[in-house]
Amino acid sequence: MLKGKTAVITGASRGIGKAIALKMAKEGANIAIPYVGPKELAIEVCKEIEALGVKAKAYECDVSDFAQAKEVCDKIVKDFDGVDISVNNAGITKDTLMLKMSEEDFDSVISVNLKGAFNFTKHLCRYIMKSSAGRIINISSVSGIMGNAGQANYSASKAGIIGLTKTTAREFASRKVTCNAIAPGFINTAMTADLPESVLESVKSQVPLKRMGEANEIADLATFLASESASYITGEVIRVDGGMCI
């Protein structure tokens, strides 16, 4: 489905990003992984990807740093001879009620989650527009659609991703580049694994399908949106939330 394409997936050393990277690699895409955190995690994901018969390389990068993001994007283009797909997945949380939220807590989440997506879109768009099937996929959240107590910073960043997605879709449509957003609900990842069982049960009770989602379910949709089958879909925000935001 994606044979010979190159995908840049930020934050793919773990969680949803890793699932997307592995799924796209299975479909034939070469994968570039800008990451922060333990280098060994990114290297391990690259090894898993290479075992699937495609190319993979990791790049340490603070996605919120405009200049650093440009440097890394230029390296990726040189190493992979172009880019076809960009998945803006990198994100952080610093949850607390607004009464207690510091300026640093607000700014850092906006910088990584929203500005990071802008940085990579800005620095890769000229190359993606040269692709015969350019795709930009942004990972938003249901928190950006309905808000969530204790997540003023995170919800604002993910709502911003939706606005960025729709504007990008309009600006790049003439170059046959699509841009869509995925809004996951409660997904079973390392971030949720440490939650008390009582909290998890409370979460599930809010979901009509009565379960948490899996990272591979986000990856399946991202891979579809990156494919030729989704060439007439752009500017959409697709929820994967078990019906929580019906």
pLDDT tens by residue, the chain, 246 residues? 999 999 999 999 999 999 999 999 999 999 999 999 999 999 999 999 999 999 999 999 999 999 999 999 999 999 999 999 999 999 999 999 999 999 999 999 999 999 999 999 999 999 999 999 999 999 999 999 999 999 999 999 999 999 999 999 999 999 999 999 999 999 998 777 777 888 889 889 999 999 999 999 999 999 999 999 999 999 999 999 999 999
pLDDT digits (tens, 9 = 90+) for 2-17: 999 999 999 999 999 9
Query: Could you tell me which residues are beta bridge partners of residue 238?
Result: 182
CATH superfamily for 6-239 is: NAD(P)-binding Rossmann-like Domain (3.40.50.720)
**pLDDT the model gives residue 77:** 98
Show the tokens assigned to 204: 């599930």
Beta strands 178-184 and 237-240 are parallel
**pLDDT the model gives residue 192:** 79
pTM of the predicted structure, to 2 decimals: 0.97
**pLDDT the model gives residue 200:** 87
Nearest to 114 by CA among 95, 146, 138, 147: 138
Active site residue 154: yes
**pLDDT the model gives residue 5:** 98
**pLDDT the model gives residue 31:** 98
Write down the catalytic residue from 35, 59, 127, 154.
Answer: 154
Residues 6+ apart with CB under 8 A from 176: 132, 133, 134, 231
Q: Where are the alpha helices (DSSP H) in the chain?
A: 15-26, 39-50, 66-80, 103-110, 116-128, 143-146, 152-172, 190-193, 197-205, 215-226
